Structure 1
Amino acid sequence: MSEKITQEQINNVLWQACDTFRGKIDSSIYKDYILVMLFIKYLSDTYKEHYEEYAKRYDGNEERIKRALSRERFVLDEKSTFDYLYDNRNDTEKGIGQLINTALENIEENNKGKLRGVFRNIDFNSEMILGKTKERNTMLKHLLEDFKKLDLRPSNLEGNDVIGDAYEYMISRFASDAGKKGGEFFTPSMVSELISRLVKPKENDRIYDPTCGSGSLLIRTFKKVPNEKAQVYGQERNGQTHSLCRMNMFLHGIDDARIAWGDTISNPLHLEDDKLMKFQVVVANPPFSLDKWAMGFAGESNTDKKFKMEASFDPYRRFEWGVPPSSKGDFAFVQHMLYSLDSQGRMAVVLPHGVLFRGASEGKIRKQIIDMNLLDAVIGLPENLFFGTGIPACILVFKKNRQRKDVLFIDASSEGNYEKGKNQNVLREEDLQKIVETYDNYETIDKYSYVATIEEIEENDYNLNIPRYVDTFEEEEPVDMDAVKENITNIKSELKDVEAQMAKYLEELGL
């Protein structure tokens, strides 16, 4: 029996496959081709293994084999398999890009219920992206040859989540490669882990991420649910990222995730009775301080003059506490999330520190949220945790129907609360545990956390800047003047001895 393939082996092959594109195409674009190919290979190898099992069981009876295969999670026909594409990798007549596109169309067609539209944003025959026919054929041929090395049949995999984890590994590598753009589709895994522990998802919860990117935060949160009995909802504006998210869900065994494609602020797509759907758990890492966040409300007529958003433009009445400034969408997402929160809901969102203290309309919204007793905790994170931005961020935790009237502040940003990395800092397991324990115990810890009363927050004019509540200032030891005096006397005496010795040497040398 052959050795099972490990996570590390898959990761290495995938990273090598990227060499086919490196230097020719930007990684923020070629990631889509690598990740789609991984998905096809996994579907094909699973299908192939099941075909062999049924062929054995039904003694080669094609009719019965076909019937059994039609009940599988995913159905493939012969021309949609990876092996068919690999065998035709030298087909210059049709072009390998076109063959792959046709295979993707067939896979969608044969799995309409699950995979409808999942590949629509990815074109393997694009001259603009992959170059002229000859270069394109060569590139895709190499890609197929790289993936041929992977045997992803379920019986050959070490554990259930190997493919999903390989997918996540690749997305995180691409995110660190892509710099600023990387943060748009991936939340660092330790931050996702922290958020998922803070919201404590339970069985039968609806879990929602309004800016879900490639889905890693949603998946982490879902995986915390006992027996994984929960319903997943997400929305993503970028078409390619939306496709990656849907594949990511399938590779993690979440077949019924409802991932919508569109702008959450101007066109929220998870509705019930024409109102915003309500969720028990909401998690998000929205784009920091998004400029022109309200442009989706502008319509055709407003293109030439400066558009000014008003609360009345929103049919879901999410901005009655205040309309955020047009150049900073942070509170637009927060208000959307709070309006989508069930009466017993918990929510955690990553935001830049500016939301804690900026004035004008943001100050008004912040006051309203605190007066309604929705804010549960403010957690300051270390700098340089996120892809493409060195700025420190914070996590705000909100709860509906809160019994307490205080707000917990945690400052997890100082040295000792994280590990310094070469390009990026990292939260370690012990750092996560410290944050979550402090949150669960809701306690004041010297130089780390503080439970503030609403009165204290009012006295600070609703400014939530963490240093106002958690004093991390380290007092320097008072200077002992007597010891300093004694030290100076000792140094003078030593200097005298050294000078005398020196003079003696010089005399001996006749200088």
Structure 2
Amino acid sequence: MERASKGMSLGRVLDALRGALAPQDALLLVMAVILLRHEAETERGDEWGDLTPAREAWGALMSGGLWRDGGHGLAEALHRGLRAREAEFSSLLDLPNLGGVRGQQVAALIDWVAAAPDLTEIFEVCLDHGQTTSKGGDYYTPSDVARLLAGVMEPREGDAVYDPVCGSGGLLLRAREHLEASGGHADELALYGQDESRSALQTAAMNVCVHGAEARLKGPESTFVNDRFADLTFDVVVANPPFNQSGWDEGGYLRHSLPWPYGVPPAGNANFAWAQHVVRKMTPTGRGALLLPTGAATTAKTAEGQIRARLVDDDVLSCVVELPAGLIPHVRNPVSLWLFTKSKKPRDNWGRSDRSGQFLLIDARDTAASVTRGRRAMPEAAKKRIIKTFAAWRGVRGSQPYEDVPAWCTSVSRGEIAAKEYDVLPSHHVAAPPAESVPADAHERAADLTDELLGLFETSRRLEGELRDLLGQL
């Protein structure tokens, strides 16, 4: 997917910029040029037919006049063409210093972006490249995992979707994509995101624009330090936070200043701070999806175990899906998907089954496929199976009746989870498949082989005796 056309690739573009820009700044420049082309192609001229700033700037880059002047000309064109977007996102689109970029270094970049048939695809190429080459900093949710979250959340027209650690904005955009694929109007979703990383928000702002979407993006500031949507709750909350995050509590201040209805999270691990934030930000009929390390489902640590127990006892947890390892780059931990709702009573955005006091556990550990060395992805069939299982359990109209499936899924009661010390790891609950019965002829065949083997032993002993007699006569 990295190749656009004419044999060019993102790797070649970045190689040309090596030395003039740091790798992350070079990638940001590429994404800004992609956005400029998008803006130029979607803007219309004014009533006199004059060119808009974006169309004029892109035309100048295509003519080669500005990039021959080097980085200063390129920076001027980008700022002029993206001025409206910079204002919209409070200068989140600040570009790196391009003063050291020579004109010829930009040629491959302009050609690659100009030749691309689909700008959203090459923007995804940029995100994938950042994931596979980054040694630190911002990490984003792979598209296959993001589509799984969108599928189980089933966003609907009129919903407000919120990601408190939005990264590149991928989870928000996948929600929009899911609604559109389901026949809904994507623009009927309201998208909200916050992140503490400035570079992540820069990427999210460009990603949203390239996809022709709108979103309210806030930051850069930690959601825990300052929730920029403090007065709002949402129909859908999705999050892929940093796992086992330490130092999140501002030296202990946040642990004692924020409301923690299910218990104060430990200072060295924010997993259950994120879980409580997701629940807190849902409307009374809202839904939440949260990625956590699998250890969070079974840890015996006192504080975390107590919070997990209270989430179960309060019946806000609906489902845990144990996912394969290796789905998220740079994360060694196996991953689990936790789904939340404040009511499991039958309703329009839930289903016809009353699942109060019940919990669905899905063991999907063996569903991944290797795509590259050290990188695994979840095939479409596996995602659909998880989504359909969750829908059947809720009694969604048109779904098949739910049944427990050995080695795949089980529905358990609150009492059953409590009996296992509130361990919600699916593989600790889902029964193994029944042992296959051995056909009768197989038993007969085993008996025949046993008789044959015993006969061979007897022959061996006889031959050994005869050999000893022969040796004694020598």
Question: Which TM-score applies when normalising by structure 2?
Answer: 0.81
Could you tell me which residue of structure 1 aligns to residue 96 of structure 2? 123
Cα 1:186/1:432, change in 2 over 3 Å: same
Contact 2:62 2:110 (C-alpha < 8 Å) held by counterparts: no
> Which stretch shows the higher mean deviation, 78-87 or 394-403?
78-87
Could you tell me which residue of structure 1 aligns to residue 468 of structure 2? none
Letter of the 1:330 partner, please give it. Answer: N
Correspondence list, 1:80-99, <5 A: 82-83=60-61, 86-91=64-69, 96-99=70-73
Structure 1 residue 412, shift from structure 2 partner: 0.4
Contact 2:163 2:193 (C-alpha < 8 Å) held by counterparts: yes
Could you tell me which residue of structure 2 aligns to residue 385 of structure 1? 327
Correspondence list, 1:106-255, <5 A: 106-111=80-85, 114-120=88-94, 122-125=95-98, 136-138=100-102, 141-148=104-111, 150-151=113-114, 162-178=118-134, 181=137, 184-225=138-179, 226-228=184-186, 229-254=188-213
In 2: Cα distance, 1:346 partner to 1:418 partner: 26
One of 272, 277, 290 as aligned partner of 1:336: 277
Gaps of 5+ in 2: 346-354, 394-402, 465-474
Could you tell me which residue of structure 2 aligns to residue 64 of structure 1? 48
Could you tell me which residue of structure 2 aligns to residue 407 of structure 1? 359
Cα 1:107/1:323, change in 2 over 3 Å: farther
After TM superposition, what 4+ stretches of structure 1 lie above 6 angstroms from structure 2? 476-481, 490-496
Could you tell me which residue of structure 2 aligns to residue 438 of structure 1? 389
* Secondary structure at 2:369 match in 1: coil
Could you tell me which residue of structure 1 aligns to residue 396 of structure 2? none
**What is the CA deviation profile of residues 325-346 of structure 1, one whole-angstrom value per residue up to 9, with x for unaligned ones?**
1121111111111111011101
Cα 1:13/1:310, change in 2 over 3 Å: closer
Letter of the 1:197 partner, please give it. Answer: G
In 2: Cα distance, 1:77 partner to 1:420 partner: 42
In 2: Cα distance, 1:473 partner to 1:28 partner: 48
- RMSD of aligned alpha carbons: 3.3
Could you tell me which residue of structure 2 aligns to residue 308 of structure 1? 252
In 2: Cα distance, 1:340 partner to 1:35 partner: 32
Structure 1 residue 270 corresponds to structure 2 residue 192: no
Cα 1:76/1:169, change in 2 over 3 Å: closer
In 2: Cα distance, 1:11 partner to 1:350 partner: 38
Structure 1 residue 309, shift from structure 2 partner: 4.0
In 1: Cα distance, 2:27 partner to 2:460 partner: 67
Cα 1:286/1:240, change in 2 over 3 Å: same
Could you tell me which residue of structure 1 aligns to residue 313 of structure 2? 371
Could you tell me which residue of structure 2 aligns to residue 466 of structure 1? 426
Contact 1:11 1:170 (C-alpha < 8 Å) held by counterparts: no
Identity of aligned residues (%): 22
Contact 2:40 2:55 (C-alpha < 8 Å) held by counterparts: no
In 1: Cα distance, 2:375 partner to 2:459 partner: 48
Structure 1 residue 390, shift from structure 2 partner: 3.0
Could you tell me which residue of structure 2 aligns to residue 287 of structure 1? 242
**What is the CA deviation profile of residues 73-130 of structure 1, one whole-angstrom value per residue up to 9, with x for unaligned ones?**
xx43846765288313333xxxx3333333344345445653541322x3133xxxxx
Could you tell me which residue of structure 1 aligns to residue 471 of structure 2? none
Contact 1:79 1:85 (C-alpha < 8 Å) held by counterparts: no
Could you tell me which residue of structure 1 aligns to residue 472 of structure 2? none
Between Structure 1 and Structure 2, how many residues are aligned?
A: 431
Contact 1:11 1:166 (C-alpha < 8 Å) held by counterparts: no
Letter of the 1:148 partner, please give it. Answer: D
* Secondary structure at 2:324 match in 1: coil
Letter of the 1:348 partner, please give it. Answer: A
Contact 1:283 1:347 (C-alpha < 8 Å) held by counterparts: yes
Structure 1 residue 485, shift from structure 2 partner: 2.4
In 2: Cα distance, 1:457 partner to 1:427 partner: 28
One of 366, 369, 375 as aligned partner of 1:424: 375
One of 100, 115, 129 as aligned partner of 2:74: 100
Cα 1:493/1:124, change in 2 over 3 Å: farther
In 1: Cα distance, 2:84 partner to 2:376 partner: 45
Question: Which TM-score applies when normalising by structure 1?
Answer: 0.76
One of 23, 32, 35 as aligned partner of 1:36: 32
> Which stretch shows the higher mean deviation, 361-370 or 481-490?
481-490
Contact 2:195 2:223 (C-alpha < 8 Å) held by counterparts: yes
Structure 1 residue 175, shift from structure 2 partner: 0.6
Structure 1 residue 470, shift from structure 2 partner: 1.1
Cα 1:492/1:419, change in 2 over 3 Å: farther
Letter of the 1:86 partner, please give it. Answer: G
Structure 1 residue 472, shift from structure 2 partner: 3.6
Cα 1:141/1:347, change in 2 over 3 Å: same
Structure 1 residue 44, shift from structure 2 partner: 3.8
One of 347, 356, 379 as aligned partner of 2:297: 356
In 1: Cα distance, 2:433 partner to 2:19 partner: 48
Contact 1:236 1:263 (C-alpha < 8 Å) held by counterparts: yes
Letter of the 2:223 partner, please give it. Answer: T
In 2: Cα distance, 1:410 partner to 1:79 partner: 52
* Secondary structure at 2:410 match in 1: strand
In 2: Cα distance, 1:487 partner to 1:174 partner: 64
Contact 2:166 2:194 (C-alpha < 8 Å) held by counterparts: yes
Structure 1 residue 238, shift from structure 2 partner: 0.9
Structure 1 residue 169, shift from structure 2 partner: 2.3
Letter of the 2:239 partner, please give it. Answer: A
